[in-house]
Structure 1
Amino acid sequence: MTFTQLEIFVMVAEMRGFTSAALRLGISQSAVSHAIKSLEQELDAQLVEREQAAVTVTELGQRLLLRAREILGLTEAMRQDAAVARGLHKGLLRIGSFGPTSSLKLLPAILQAYRARYPGVEVQIDEGPDAAVLQWVADRRVDVGFAVLPDERFDTVPLVEDELTALLPRDHPLAQHDTVTLAELSEHPFIMPEAGCSALIEPLFAAAALAPQVRYRMSQMLTVLHLVDNGDGITVLAELALPHALAQTHPRIVRRPLRPTVRRRVGLIFRNLGRAAPAAQAFAEIARGIAKTSLGTA
Protein backbone atom coordinates (compact mmCIF):
# COMPACT_ATOMS: atom_id res chain seq x y z
CA MET A 1 0.00 0.00 0.00
CA THR A 2 1.41 3.39 -1.00
CA PHE A 3 0.53 7.00 -0.30
CA THR A 4 -0.06 7.43 -4.04
CA GLN A 5 -2.69 4.68 -4.01
CA LEU A 6 -4.44 6.34 -1.07
CA GLU A 7 -4.34 9.76 -2.77
CA ILE A 8 -5.85 8.28 -5.91
CA PHE A 9 -8.54 6.44 -3.91
CA VAL A 10 -9.53 9.67 -2.11
CA MET A 11 -9.63 11.62 -5.38
CA VAL A 12 -11.75 8.96 -7.14
CA ALA A 13 -14.20 9.05 -4.21
CA GLU A 14 -14.43 12.85 -4.25
CA MET A 15 -14.67 13.20 -8.04
CA ARG A 16 -16.94 10.13 -8.38
CA GLY A 17 -15.11 8.94 -11.45
CA PHE A 18 -11.82 7.65 -12.81
CA THR A 19 -11.59 10.12 -15.70
CA SER A 20 -12.24 13.22 -13.61
CA ALA A 21 -9.82 11.97 -10.92
CA ALA A 22 -7.14 11.39 -13.55
CA LEU A 23 -7.61 14.91 -14.94
CA ARG A 24 -7.42 16.41 -11.44
CA LEU A 25 -4.26 14.45 -10.60
CA GLY A 26 -2.63 14.95 -14.00
CA ILE A 27 -2.17 11.24 -14.69
CA SER A 28 -3.70 8.74 -17.11
CA GLN A 29 -7.03 7.04 -16.48
CA SER A 30 -5.31 3.65 -16.76
CA ALA A 31 -2.95 4.64 -13.94
CA VAL A 32 -5.95 5.53 -11.76
CA SER A 33 -7.68 2.25 -12.58
CA HIS A 34 -4.50 0.27 -11.89
CA ALA A 35 -3.96 1.97 -8.52
CA ILE A 36 -7.53 1.26 -7.36
CA LYS A 37 -7.36 -2.34 -8.55
CA SER A 38 -4.02 -2.91 -6.80
CA LEU A 39 -5.31 -1.37 -3.57
CA GLU A 40 -8.43 -3.54 -3.66
CA GLN A 41 -6.32 -6.65 -4.26
CA GLU A 42 -4.00 -5.81 -1.37
CA LEU A 43 -6.91 -5.18 1.00
CA ASP A 44 -8.91 -8.08 -0.45
CA ALA A 45 -11.95 -5.81 -0.52
CA GLN A 46 -14.05 -3.92 -3.06
CA LEU A 47 -13.67 -0.20 -2.49
CA VAL A 48 -15.68 1.19 -5.39
CA GLU A 49 -18.48 0.04 -7.64
CA ARG A 50 -17.82 0.88 -11.27
CA GLU A 51 -20.92 2.14 -13.03
CA GLN A 52 -21.37 3.61 -16.47
CA ALA A 53 -22.06 7.17 -15.41
CA ALA A 54 -20.13 7.37 -12.15
CA VAL A 55 -18.16 5.53 -9.50
CA THR A 56 -19.79 4.76 -6.14
CA VAL A 57 -17.80 4.03 -3.01
CA THR A 58 -18.90 0.84 -1.25
CA GLU A 59 -19.96 0.77 2.40
CA LEU A 60 -16.58 -0.67 3.40
CA GLY A 61 -14.88 1.80 1.08
CA GLN A 62 -16.56 4.69 2.95
CA ARG A 63 -15.08 3.47 6.24
CA LEU A 64 -11.63 3.01 4.72
CA LEU A 65 -11.91 6.40 3.05
CA LEU A 66 -11.89 8.04 6.50
CA ARG A 67 -8.71 6.11 7.34
CA ALA A 68 -7.11 7.12 4.06
CA ARG A 69 -7.87 10.81 4.65
CA GLU A 70 -6.51 10.55 8.19
CA ILE A 71 -3.27 8.97 6.97
CA LEU A 72 -2.84 11.54 4.22
CA GLY A 73 -3.66 14.36 6.63
CA LEU A 74 -1.02 13.21 9.11
CA THR A 75 1.47 12.84 6.27
CA GLU A 76 0.76 16.39 5.10
CA ALA A 77 1.16 17.64 8.67
CA MET A 78 4.57 15.92 8.91
CA ARG A 79 5.67 17.52 5.64
CA GLN A 80 4.57 20.93 6.86
CA ASP A 81 6.29 20.48 10.25
CA ALA A 82 9.52 19.60 8.46
CA ALA A 83 9.15 22.60 6.13
CA VAL A 84 8.58 24.95 9.07
CA ALA A 85 11.71 23.57 10.77
CA ARG A 86 13.70 24.41 7.61
CA GLY A 87 12.30 27.94 7.59
CA LEU A 88 9.92 27.17 4.73
CA HIS A 89 6.13 27.33 4.61
CA LYS A 90 4.74 24.96 2.05
CA GLY A 91 1.86 22.51 1.84
CA LEU A 92 -1.86 22.34 1.19
CA LEU A 93 -4.70 23.97 3.15
CA ARG A 94 -8.25 22.77 2.41
CA ILE A 95 -11.07 25.10 3.49
CA GLY A 96 -14.82 24.44 3.56
CA SER A 97 -16.94 27.57 3.12
CA PHE A 98 -20.68 28.26 3.14
CA GLY A 99 -22.65 31.14 1.70
CA PRO A 100 -21.77 34.82 1.35
CA THR A 101 -20.97 35.36 5.04
CA SER A 102 -17.83 33.24 4.83
CA SER A 103 -17.12 33.25 1.10
CA LEU A 104 -17.64 36.99 0.49
CA LYS A 105 -17.35 38.74 3.86
CA LEU A 106 -14.75 36.73 5.82
CA LEU A 107 -12.54 34.76 3.42
CA PRO A 108 -11.19 37.56 1.18
CA ALA A 109 -9.63 39.55 4.04
CA ILE A 110 -8.31 36.44 5.79
CA LEU A 111 -6.87 34.97 2.59
CA GLN A 112 -5.17 38.24 1.67
CA ALA A 113 -3.31 38.27 4.97
CA TYR A 114 -2.64 34.54 4.79
CA ARG A 115 -1.21 34.68 1.26
CA ALA A 116 1.03 37.59 2.22
CA ARG A 117 2.56 35.60 5.06
CA TYR A 118 2.51 32.10 3.52
CA PRO A 119 2.73 32.44 -0.27
CA GLY A 120 4.05 28.89 -0.64
CA VAL A 121 0.93 27.22 0.79
CA GLU A 122 -1.61 26.05 -1.78
CA VAL A 123 -5.18 26.85 -0.71
CA GLN A 124 -8.13 24.76 -1.90
CA ILE A 125 -11.63 26.10 -1.16
CA ASP A 126 -14.75 23.95 -1.40
CA GLU A 127 -18.11 25.72 -1.12
CA GLY A 128 -21.39 24.13 -0.11
CA PRO A 129 -24.34 24.29 2.30
CA ASP A 130 -23.77 24.42 6.06
CA ALA A 131 -24.41 20.70 6.55
CA ALA A 132 -21.99 19.79 3.77
CA VAL A 133 -19.17 21.83 5.33
CA LEU A 134 -19.74 20.15 8.71
CA GLN A 135 -19.60 16.73 7.05
CA TRP A 136 -16.44 17.64 5.11
CA VAL A 137 -14.66 18.51 8.35
CA ALA A 138 -15.91 15.34 10.05
CA ASP A 139 -14.78 13.23 7.07
CA ARG A 140 -11.38 15.00 6.90
CA ARG A 141 -12.15 16.17 3.36
CA VAL A 142 -11.19 19.70 4.48
CA ASP A 143 -8.82 20.84 7.23
CA VAL A 144 -10.95 23.74 8.45
CA GLY A 145 -14.51 24.86 7.86
CA PHE A 146 -16.60 27.97 8.44
CA ALA A 147 -19.72 27.24 10.48
CA VAL A 148 -22.41 28.73 12.67
CA LEU A 149 -21.36 28.28 16.30
CA PRO A 150 -21.50 26.75 18.80
CA ASP A 151 -20.88 23.16 17.70
CA GLU A 152 -19.72 20.82 20.45
CA ARG A 153 -18.50 18.18 17.97
CA PHE A 154 -15.51 20.26 16.88
CA ASP A 155 -12.78 22.56 18.15
CA THR A 156 -13.99 26.05 17.32
CA VAL A 157 -12.55 29.52 16.78
CA PRO A 158 -15.27 32.24 17.06
CA LEU A 159 -14.80 35.09 14.57
CA VAL A 160 -17.82 37.36 14.17
CA GLU A 161 -21.33 37.91 15.52
CA ASP A 162 -24.31 39.49 13.79
CA GLU A 163 -28.11 39.68 13.94
CA LEU A 164 -30.83 37.94 12.01
CA THR A 165 -33.15 40.28 10.15
CA ALA A 166 -36.42 39.84 8.27
CA LEU A 167 -36.49 40.75 4.58
CA LEU A 168 -39.85 41.81 3.17
CA PRO A 169 -41.21 43.28 -0.06
CA ARG A 170 -41.74 47.01 0.42
CA ASP A 171 -45.51 46.68 -0.08
CA HIS A 172 -45.86 43.74 2.35
CA PRO A 173 -48.15 44.35 5.37
CA LEU A 174 -45.33 43.59 7.83
CA ALA A 175 -43.13 46.21 6.17
CA GLN A 176 -45.21 48.83 8.01
CA HIS A 177 -43.93 47.53 11.37
CA ASP A 178 -40.72 48.73 13.04
CA THR A 179 -39.94 45.17 14.18
CA VAL A 180 -41.47 41.76 13.46
CA THR A 181 -41.98 38.62 15.51
CA LEU A 182 -41.67 34.98 14.55
CA ALA A 183 -45.41 34.60 15.06
CA GLU A 184 -46.06 37.34 12.51
CA LEU A 185 -43.60 35.83 10.04
CA SER A 186 -45.18 32.39 10.37
CA GLU A 187 -48.45 33.74 8.91
CA HIS A 188 -46.94 34.42 5.47
CA PRO A 189 -45.24 32.37 2.69
CA PHE A 190 -41.62 31.90 3.72
CA ILE A 191 -38.41 31.37 1.74
CA MET A 192 -35.99 29.20 3.74
CA PRO A 193 -32.32 30.05 3.02
CA GLU A 194 -30.09 26.99 3.14
CA ALA A 195 -26.72 28.75 3.48
CA GLY A 196 -25.70 29.91 6.93
CA CYS A 197 -29.13 30.47 8.47
CA SER A 198 -31.51 27.51 8.09
CA ALA A 199 -29.84 25.54 10.90
CA LEU A 200 -30.66 28.48 13.19
CA ILE A 201 -34.00 29.68 11.78
CA GLU A 202 -35.94 26.41 11.87
CA PRO A 203 -35.09 25.66 15.55
CA LEU A 204 -36.11 29.23 16.42
CA PHE A 205 -39.61 28.67 15.05
CA ALA A 206 -39.78 25.21 16.63
CA ALA A 207 -38.78 26.58 20.05
CA ALA A 208 -41.63 29.06 19.80
CA ALA A 209 -44.04 26.24 18.83
CA LEU A 210 -44.39 27.81 15.39
CA ALA A 211 -43.91 26.51 11.86
CA PRO A 212 -43.01 28.78 8.94
CA GLN A 213 -45.06 28.38 5.77
CA VAL A 214 -42.08 27.31 3.68
CA ARG A 215 -42.78 27.93 0.02
CA TYR A 216 -39.20 27.59 -1.25
CA ARG A 217 -35.87 26.30 0.06
CA MET A 218 -32.94 27.99 -1.69
CA SER A 219 -29.17 27.64 -1.34
CA GLN A 220 -28.30 30.60 -3.58
CA MET A 221 -28.58 33.92 -1.77
CA LEU A 222 -29.16 35.94 -4.96
CA THR A 223 -32.15 33.73 -5.80
CA VAL A 224 -33.60 34.26 -2.30
CA LEU A 225 -33.27 38.01 -2.70
CA HIS A 226 -34.80 37.89 -6.18
CA LEU A 227 -37.84 35.96 -4.91
CA VAL A 228 -38.40 38.42 -2.05
CA ASP A 229 -37.95 41.32 -4.45
CA ASN A 230 -40.65 39.77 -6.69
CA GLY A 231 -43.04 39.43 -3.76
CA ASP A 232 -42.93 35.60 -3.82
CA GLY A 233 -42.32 35.35 -0.09
CA ILE A 234 -40.50 36.71 2.94
CA THR A 235 -37.34 35.44 4.59
CA VAL A 236 -34.90 35.83 7.46
CA LEU A 237 -31.18 36.30 6.83
CA ALA A 238 -28.11 37.27 8.80
CA GLU A 239 -26.85 40.83 8.36
CA LEU A 240 -23.42 39.60 7.25
CA ALA A 241 -25.01 37.51 4.50
CA LEU A 242 -26.53 40.56 2.81
CA PRO A 243 -24.87 42.40 -0.09
CA HIS A 244 -23.31 45.77 0.79
CA ALA A 245 -25.43 47.51 -1.84
CA LEU A 246 -28.74 45.77 -1.08
CA ALA A 247 -30.71 49.04 -1.21
CA GLN A 248 -29.38 49.73 -4.69
CA THR A 249 -29.59 46.23 -6.17
CA HIS A 250 -32.98 45.33 -4.61
CA PRO A 251 -34.80 48.61 -3.86
CA ARG A 252 -38.13 46.81 -3.26
CA ILE A 253 -36.75 44.89 -0.27
CA VAL A 254 -36.93 46.33 3.24
CA ARG A 255 -35.23 45.02 6.39
CA ARG A 256 -36.97 44.74 9.74
CA PRO A 257 -35.29 43.62 13.01
CA LEU A 258 -36.68 40.59 14.79
CA ARG A 259 -38.37 41.01 18.15
CA PRO A 260 -36.81 39.71 20.33
CA THR A 261 -33.35 40.14 18.80
CA VAL A 262 -31.68 36.96 17.56
CA ARG A 263 -27.91 36.86 17.13
CA ARG A 264 -25.61 34.25 15.59
CA ARG A 265 -21.89 33.56 15.77
CA VAL A 266 -19.76 32.43 12.84
CA GLY A 267 -16.32 30.92 13.21
CA LEU A 268 -13.96 28.15 12.24
CA ILE A 269 -14.29 24.47 13.08
CA PHE A 270 -11.55 21.82 13.28
CA ARG A 271 -11.61 18.15 14.13
CA ASN A 272 -8.66 18.77 16.44
CA LEU A 273 -7.00 22.19 16.34
CA GLY A 274 -4.10 21.07 18.52
CA ARG A 275 -3.17 18.31 16.07
CA ALA A 276 -3.93 20.29 12.92
CA ALA A 277 -1.19 20.86 10.34
CA PRO A 278 0.83 24.09 10.69
CA ALA A 279 -0.92 25.61 7.65
CA ALA A 280 -4.33 25.15 9.31
CA GLN A 281 -3.14 26.44 12.70
CA ALA A 282 -1.66 29.50 10.99
CA PHE A 283 -4.98 30.11 9.22
CA ALA A 284 -6.79 30.07 12.58
CA GLU A 285 -4.29 32.53 14.06
CA ILE A 286 -4.58 34.95 11.14
CA ALA A 287 -8.40 34.65 11.07
CA ARG A 288 -8.53 35.58 14.77
CA GLY A 289 -6.42 38.65 14.13
CA ILE A 290 -8.43 39.79 11.11
CA ALA A 291 -11.71 39.29 13.00
CA LYS A 292 -10.45 41.29 15.97
CA THR A 293 -9.08 44.25 14.01
CA SER A 294 -11.34 44.44 10.97
CA LEU A 295 -14.55 42.46 11.42
CA GLY A 296 -15.49 42.69 15.08
CA THR A 297 -14.67 39.67 17.25
CA ALA A 298 -17.54 37.30 18.13
Structure 2
Amino acid sequence: MSLVKYEILNKVGEVHSFTKAAELLGLTQSAVSHAISSMEKDFGFNLIHRNRTGVTLTEDGITMLIEMRKVLSAEELLRQEAAHILGVAKGTVRVGLISTISTHWMPNIIRLMDQQYPGINIELREGDYYEIEQWLLNGEVDCGFLNRTSSKQFDFMPLKRDPLLCIVSSKSPLYDKEEVDLNEIEDIPFIMPSYKGTNDVIANFEKYNVRPNIRFHLTDEKGIISMVEHHLGISILPQLAMAGLMNNVRTIPLKQESFRTIGLSTKQKLSPAAKKFVEVLKQWLASVKE
Protein backbone atom coordinates (compact mmCIF):
# COMPACT_ATOMS: atom_id res chain seq x y z
CA MET A 1 0.00 0.00 0.00
CA SER A 2 1.27 3.49 -0.89
CA LEU A 3 2.95 5.58 1.81
CA VAL A 4 1.08 8.55 0.36
CA LYS A 5 -2.17 7.00 1.59
CA TYR A 6 -0.67 6.61 5.06
CA GLU A 7 0.31 10.30 5.00
CA ILE A 8 -3.22 11.23 3.96
CA LEU A 9 -4.85 9.31 6.83
CA ASN A 10 -2.27 10.76 9.21
CA LYS A 11 -3.16 14.31 8.20
CA VAL A 12 -6.91 13.63 8.29
CA GLY A 13 -6.45 12.21 11.79
CA GLU A 14 -4.67 15.42 12.86
CA VAL A 15 -7.04 18.03 11.40
CA HIS A 16 -10.34 16.06 11.31
CA SER A 17 -11.21 17.42 7.87
CA PHE A 18 -10.80 16.22 4.29
CA THR A 19 -10.68 19.83 3.04
CA LYS A 20 -7.97 20.98 5.48
CA ALA A 21 -5.96 17.80 4.94
CA ALA A 22 -6.11 18.31 1.17
CA GLU A 23 -4.95 21.93 1.50
CA LEU A 24 -2.03 21.01 3.75
CA LEU A 25 -0.93 18.14 1.49
CA GLY A 26 -1.42 20.03 -1.77
CA LEU A 27 -4.09 17.61 -2.99
CA THR A 28 -7.72 17.87 -4.06
CA GLN A 29 -10.45 16.93 -1.61
CA SER A 30 -11.61 14.18 -3.96
CA ALA A 31 -8.08 12.68 -3.96
CA VAL A 32 -8.10 12.57 -0.16
CA SER A 33 -11.58 11.03 -0.06
CA HIS A 34 -10.63 8.46 -2.70
CA ALA A 35 -7.47 7.46 -0.81
CA ILE A 36 -9.41 6.89 2.42
CA SER A 37 -12.13 4.90 0.62
CA SER A 38 -9.46 2.82 -1.13
CA MET A 39 -7.80 1.93 2.18
CA GLU A 40 -11.14 1.06 3.77
CA LYS A 41 -11.87 -1.24 0.83
CA ASP A 42 -8.44 -2.89 1.08
CA PHE A 43 -8.66 -3.36 4.87
CA GLY A 44 -12.32 -4.38 4.88
CA PHE A 45 -13.46 -2.01 7.65
CA ASN A 46 -14.17 1.69 8.22
CA LEU A 47 -11.31 3.97 9.21
CA ILE A 48 -13.30 7.15 9.84
CA HIS A 49 -16.70 8.45 10.91
CA ARG A 50 -18.16 11.05 8.56
CA ASN A 51 -20.53 13.65 10.08
CA ARG A 52 -21.62 17.26 9.65
CA THR A 53 -18.95 18.68 11.94
CA GLY A 54 -16.06 16.86 10.28
CA VAL A 55 -14.46 13.46 10.41
CA THR A 56 -13.11 11.41 13.29
CA LEU A 57 -11.24 8.13 13.29
CA THR A 58 -12.97 4.94 14.31
CA GLU A 59 -11.33 2.78 16.97
CA ASP A 60 -10.02 0.55 14.17
CA GLY A 61 -8.83 3.66 12.34
CA ILE A 62 -6.89 4.84 15.40
CA THR A 63 -5.27 1.40 15.75
CA MET A 64 -4.24 1.37 12.09
CA LEU A 65 -3.00 4.96 12.16
CA ILE A 66 -0.68 4.24 15.10
CA GLU A 67 0.91 1.44 13.06
CA MET A 68 1.02 3.62 9.92
CA ARG A 69 2.88 6.31 11.85
CA LYS A 70 5.52 3.75 12.77
CA VAL A 71 5.99 3.03 9.06
CA LEU A 72 6.12 6.75 8.20
CA SER A 73 8.58 7.36 11.03
CA ALA A 74 10.79 4.50 9.83
CA GLU A 75 10.71 5.86 6.29
CA GLU A 76 11.66 9.36 7.54
CA LEU A 77 14.48 7.85 9.58
CA LEU A 78 15.72 5.97 6.50
CA ARG A 79 15.87 9.21 4.47
CA GLN A 80 17.67 11.03 7.29
CA GLU A 81 20.24 8.23 7.72
CA ALA A 82 20.97 8.31 3.98
CA ALA A 83 21.48 12.08 4.13
CA HIS A 84 23.66 11.66 7.23
CA ILE A 85 25.92 9.19 5.39
CA LEU A 86 26.33 11.80 2.65
CA GLY A 87 27.24 14.38 5.30
CA VAL A 88 24.04 16.38 4.84
CA ALA A 89 21.67 17.31 7.68
CA LYS A 90 18.14 16.93 6.33
CA GLY A 91 14.75 15.85 7.62
CA THR A 92 11.85 16.91 9.80
CA VAL A 93 11.62 17.15 13.59
CA ARG A 94 8.11 17.27 15.08
CA VAL A 95 8.08 18.96 18.46
CA GLY A 96 5.28 19.10 21.04
CA LEU A 97 5.47 22.12 23.32
CA ILE A 98 3.64 24.07 25.99
CA SER A 99 2.79 27.74 25.44
CA THR A 100 5.58 29.20 27.61
CA ILE A 101 8.21 27.26 25.65
CA SER A 102 6.78 28.38 22.30
CA THR A 103 6.90 32.00 23.53
CA HIS A 104 10.23 32.17 25.36
CA TRP A 105 12.46 29.42 23.97
CA MET A 106 11.50 28.30 20.49
CA PRO A 107 12.10 31.54 18.51
CA ASN A 108 15.77 31.46 19.61
CA ILE A 109 16.16 27.72 19.05
CA ILE A 110 14.56 27.81 15.59
CA ARG A 111 16.79 30.74 14.62
CA LEU A 112 19.86 28.69 15.57
CA MET A 113 18.53 25.63 13.74
CA ASP A 114 17.96 27.71 10.60
CA GLN A 115 21.52 29.05 10.82
CA GLN A 116 23.27 25.76 11.52
CA TYR A 117 21.02 23.20 9.80
CA PRO A 118 18.91 24.90 7.10
CA GLY A 119 18.00 21.51 5.64
CA ILE A 120 16.11 20.47 8.79
CA ASN A 121 12.44 21.43 9.01
CA ILE A 122 10.86 22.01 12.44
CA GLU A 123 7.15 21.29 12.92
CA LEU A 124 5.63 22.67 16.13
CA ARG A 125 2.47 21.50 17.87
CA GLU A 126 1.25 23.24 21.01
CA GLY A 127 -0.75 21.58 23.77
CA ASP A 128 -0.79 20.75 27.47
CA TYR A 129 1.31 18.07 29.18
CA TYR A 130 -1.28 15.35 28.71
CA GLU A 131 -1.75 16.07 25.01
CA ILE A 132 1.99 16.15 24.37
CA GLU A 133 2.52 12.80 26.08
CA GLN A 134 -0.32 11.30 24.05
CA TRP A 135 1.25 12.66 20.84
CA LEU A 136 4.51 10.99 21.83
CA LEU A 137 2.79 7.68 22.54
CA ASN A 138 0.85 7.84 19.25
CA GLY A 139 3.90 8.78 17.20
CA GLU A 140 2.57 12.22 16.28
CA VAL A 141 5.69 14.05 17.52
CA ASP A 142 9.35 13.04 17.85
CA CYS A 143 9.97 14.87 21.10
CA GLY A 144 8.02 16.99 23.53
CA PHE A 145 8.52 19.43 26.39
CA LEU A 146 7.01 18.00 29.59
CA ASN A 147 7.28 18.47 33.34
CA ARG A 148 7.85 14.71 33.75
CA THR A 149 6.97 11.47 31.98
CA SER A 150 5.29 8.32 33.22
CA SER A 151 6.17 6.22 30.17
CA LYS A 152 9.22 3.96 30.00
CA GLN A 153 9.10 4.19 26.21
CA PHE A 154 10.84 7.57 26.25
CA ASP A 155 13.91 9.23 27.70
CA PHE A 156 13.34 12.33 29.82
CA MET A 157 16.04 14.99 29.95
CA PRO A 158 15.51 17.64 32.69
CA LEU A 159 16.39 21.11 31.36
CA LYS A 160 15.31 23.80 33.83
CA ARG A 161 13.81 24.27 37.27
CA ASP A 162 11.17 26.97 36.77
CA PRO A 163 10.11 28.53 40.11
CA LEU A 164 6.41 28.69 40.97
CA LEU A 165 5.50 32.20 42.15
CA CYS A 166 2.43 33.72 43.74
CA ILE A 167 0.93 36.51 41.63
CA VAL A 168 -1.15 39.16 43.41
CA SER A 169 -2.69 42.54 42.63
CA SER A 170 -2.19 45.80 44.52
CA LYS A 171 -5.49 45.24 46.36
CA SER A 172 -4.44 41.86 47.75
CA PRO A 173 -3.58 41.59 51.48
CA LEU A 174 -0.44 39.72 50.36
CA TYR A 175 0.85 42.52 48.11
CA ASP A 176 3.56 43.82 50.46
CA LYS A 177 4.83 40.38 51.50
CA GLU A 178 8.44 39.39 50.77
CA GLU A 179 7.38 35.76 50.61
CA VAL A 180 4.06 33.91 50.82
CA ASP A 181 3.35 30.87 52.95
CA LEU A 182 1.01 28.50 51.10
CA ASN A 183 -1.16 28.32 54.20
CA GLU A 184 -1.90 32.06 53.87
CA ILE A 185 -3.62 31.36 50.55
CA GLU A 186 -6.46 29.22 51.93
CA ASP A 187 -8.78 32.14 52.76
CA ILE A 188 -8.15 34.23 49.62
CA PRO A 189 -10.02 33.70 46.31
CA PHE A 190 -7.69 31.62 44.14
CA ILE A 191 -7.59 31.20 40.36
CA MET A 192 -6.45 27.65 39.68
CA PRO A 193 -4.41 26.85 36.56
CA SER A 194 -6.32 23.93 35.07
CA TYR A 195 -5.00 21.54 32.44
CA LYS A 196 -4.75 17.81 31.90
CA GLY A 197 -1.59 16.03 32.92
CA THR A 198 0.50 16.50 36.05
CA ASN A 199 -0.50 19.88 37.48
CA ASP A 200 2.46 21.29 39.43
CA VAL A 201 0.34 23.80 41.35
CA ILE A 202 -2.16 21.19 42.53
CA ALA A 203 0.69 18.79 43.34
CA ASN A 204 2.28 21.50 45.48
CA PHE A 205 -0.94 22.12 47.42
CA GLU A 206 -1.33 18.38 48.01
CA LYS A 207 2.29 18.05 49.13
CA TYR A 208 1.83 20.67 51.85
CA ASN A 209 -1.80 19.72 52.65
CA VAL A 210 -3.21 23.10 51.61
CA ARG A 211 -6.79 23.57 50.45
CA PRO A 212 -7.09 26.76 48.38
CA ASN A 213 -10.32 28.74 48.10
CA ILE A 214 -10.78 28.19 44.35
CA ARG A 215 -12.90 30.80 42.60
CA PHE A 216 -12.14 29.92 38.97
CA HIS A 217 -10.42 27.18 36.99
CA LEU A 218 -8.69 28.51 33.85
CA THR A 219 -6.34 26.84 31.37
CA ASP A 220 -4.93 29.96 29.70
CA GLU A 221 -2.13 31.60 31.67
CA LYS A 222 -2.79 35.00 30.10
CA GLY A 223 -6.42 34.73 31.21
CA ILE A 224 -5.32 33.93 34.76
CA ILE A 225 -3.00 36.95 34.82
CA SER A 226 -5.81 39.17 33.52
CA MET A 227 -8.10 37.98 36.33
CA VAL A 228 -5.44 38.88 38.90
CA GLU A 229 -4.85 42.27 37.26
CA HIS A 230 -8.58 42.97 37.67
CA HIS A 231 -8.39 42.12 41.41
CA LEU A 232 -10.54 38.97 41.10
CA GLY A 233 -8.17 36.71 43.01
CA ILE A 234 -4.58 35.53 43.28
CA SER A 235 -2.83 32.65 41.60
CA ILE A 236 0.38 30.64 41.34
CA LEU A 237 2.16 30.33 38.01
CA PRO A 238 5.61 29.38 36.72
CA GLN A 239 8.08 32.24 36.44
CA LEU A 240 8.36 31.79 32.67
CA ALA A 241 4.64 32.51 32.26
CA MET A 242 4.76 35.92 33.93
CA ALA A 243 6.67 38.24 31.63
CA GLY A 244 5.32 41.74 30.94
CA LEU A 245 3.03 42.14 33.94
CA MET A 246 1.08 45.34 34.54
CA ASN A 247 2.22 47.77 37.26
CA ASN A 248 -0.64 46.87 39.59
CA VAL A 249 0.50 43.26 40.07
CA ARG A 250 3.64 41.62 41.39
CA THR A 251 5.05 38.16 41.86
CA ILE A 252 6.14 36.90 45.27
CA PRO A 253 8.29 33.84 46.05
CA LEU A 254 6.69 31.02 48.03
CA LYS A 255 8.06 30.08 51.43
CA GLN A 256 7.80 26.37 50.61
CA GLU A 257 10.16 25.15 47.89
CA SER A 258 8.02 25.22 44.75
CA PHE A 259 9.02 24.72 41.14
CA ARG A 260 8.25 22.79 37.99
CA THR A 261 10.86 20.85 36.06
CA ILE A 262 10.87 21.56 32.35
CA GLY A 263 12.35 18.68 30.39
CA LEU A 264 12.44 17.17 26.93
CA SER A 265 10.93 13.73 26.44
CA THR A 266 12.30 11.91 23.37
CA LYS A 267 12.16 8.61 21.61
CA GLN A 268 14.90 6.27 22.81
CA LYS A 269 16.20 6.03 19.23
CA LEU A 270 16.46 9.56 17.89
CA SER A 271 16.66 10.37 14.19
CA PRO A 272 19.75 12.31 13.01
CA ALA A 273 17.62 15.46 12.61
CA ALA A 274 16.18 15.09 16.13
CA LYS A 275 19.71 14.65 17.51
CA LYS A 276 20.70 17.96 15.90
CA PHE A 277 17.67 19.62 17.48
CA VAL A 278 18.65 18.33 20.94
CA GLU A 279 22.25 19.53 20.40
CA VAL A 280 21.09 23.03 19.46
CA LEU A 281 18.64 23.12 22.39
CA LYS A 282 21.46 22.27 24.83
CA GLN A 283 23.74 24.79 23.13
CA TRP A 284 21.19 27.58 23.52
CA LEU A 285 20.41 26.72 27.16
CA ALA A 286 24.14 26.75 27.99
CA SER A 287 24.50 30.20 26.40
CA VAL A 288 21.55 31.55 28.42
CA LYS A 289 23.05 30.31 31.70
CA GLU A 290 26.42 31.93 31.02
Report the Cα distance in structure 1 between the residues aligned to 2:240 and 2:37, rounded to whole angstroms.
Answer: 48
Residue of structure 1 equivalent to 2:271: 277
Report the Cα distance in structure 2 between the residues aligned to 1:47 and 1:140, rounded to whole angstroms.
Answer: 18
Residues 237-259 of structure 1: per-residue CA shift (max 9 Å, x gap) = 1112221x33xxx1111211111
In the alignment, is residue 268 of structure 1 matched against residue 272 of structure 2?
Answer: no
Aligned to 1:294, the other structure's residue is in SS state helix
The 1:283–1:195 alpha-carbon spacing in structure 2 relative to 1, beyond 3 Å, is: farther
In the alignment, is residue 141 of structure 1 matched against residue 150 of structure 2?
Answer: no
What are the equivalent positions in structure 2 for 1:211-290 lying under 5 Å apart? 211-243=211-243, 245-246=244-245, 250-272=246-268, 275-290=269-284
Aligned to 1:40, the other structure's residue is in SS state helix
The alpha carbon displacement at 1:165 in A equals 0.6
The alpha carbon displacement at 1:212 in A equals 2.3
The alpha carbon displacement at 1:113 in A equals 1.5
Do 2:145 and 2:262's aligned partners in 1 also have CA atoms closer than 8 Å? yes
Residues 10-51 of structure 1: per-residue CA shift (max 9 Å, x gap) = 111111011111111110111111111111111112110111
The alpha carbon displacement at 1:185 in A equals 1.5
Do 2:149 and 2:265's aligned partners in 1 also have CA atoms closer than 8 Å? no
The 1:295–1:50 alpha-carbon spacing in structure 2 relative to 1, beyond 3 Å, is: farther
Residues 263-297 of structure 1: per-residue CA shift (max 9 Å, x gap) = 2221211132xx1211111111111121122147x
The 1:261–1:196 alpha-carbon spacing in structure 2 relative to 1, beyond 3 Å, is: farther
The one-letter amino acid of 1:291's match is L
Aligned to 2:251, the other structure's residue is in SS state strand
In the alignment, is residue 11 of structure 1 matched against residue 7 of structure 2?
Answer: no
Question: What is the number of equivalent residue pairs in this alignment?
Answer: 289
The one-letter amino acid of 1:55's match is V
CA RMSD of aligned residues (A): 1.9
Report the Cα distance in structure 2 between the residues aligned to 1:199 and 1:262, rounded to whole angstroms.
Answer: 12
The alpha carbon displacement at 1:3 in A equals 0.5
In the alignment, is residue 65 of structure 1 matched against residue 54 of structure 2?
Answer: no
Do 1:48 and 1:58's aligned partners in 2 also have CA atoms closer than 8 Å? yes
Report the Cα distance in structure 2 between the residues aligned to 1:168 and 1:238, rounded to whole angstroms.
Answer: 14
Overall identity of the aligned pairs, in %: 31
Report the Cα distance in structure 1 between the residues aligned to 2:21 and 2:151, rounded to whole angstroms.
Answer: 34
